[in-house]
Amino acid sequence: MTFQEKKEIYKKIIVSLDYCVDDYLYILDVENDEYFISPHAAVRFKMDNAYFKNPVKEFKKFVYYKDYDLVVADLSKILSGEKDLSQYAV
C-alpha cells in the first residue's frame, strides 16, 4: 500500500470520527506540504476548507497570533530533522 493510499484511508477515518470525538484529528503531510483536519474543526475555526496546501502560510489565518511563531518553530524542527516524529508516521 502506498503512502497516498494510506493517507486517503486516514482521511476517511477522520471524517467518520468527525463528530464522535472532541479532538480535532489531522494529517500533516510534510513531504507534499498538505494538511487535512477534521471537517468540524474547519467550521469551528472558520477555515476555508478542511484540506489545504502550504500549511505554514495557512496556519497564520487561524492559529492564535501569540502561538503562531511557536507552531512555525516546532514545524521547522520537524522539517529539519531536529525533532523526530518517526514513531507517529504511517
| Positions of the chain with pLDDT under 70 | 88-90
Q: What per-residue confidence (pLDDT) applies to 66?
A: 96
Q: What per-residue confidence (pLDDT) applies to 17?
A: 93
The helix (H) or strand (E) run that includes residue 40 is helix 39-44
Sheet holding 34-37, edge to edge: 26-29, 34-37, 51-53
As a whole number, the mean pLDDT across the chain is 89
pTM of the prediction? 0.79
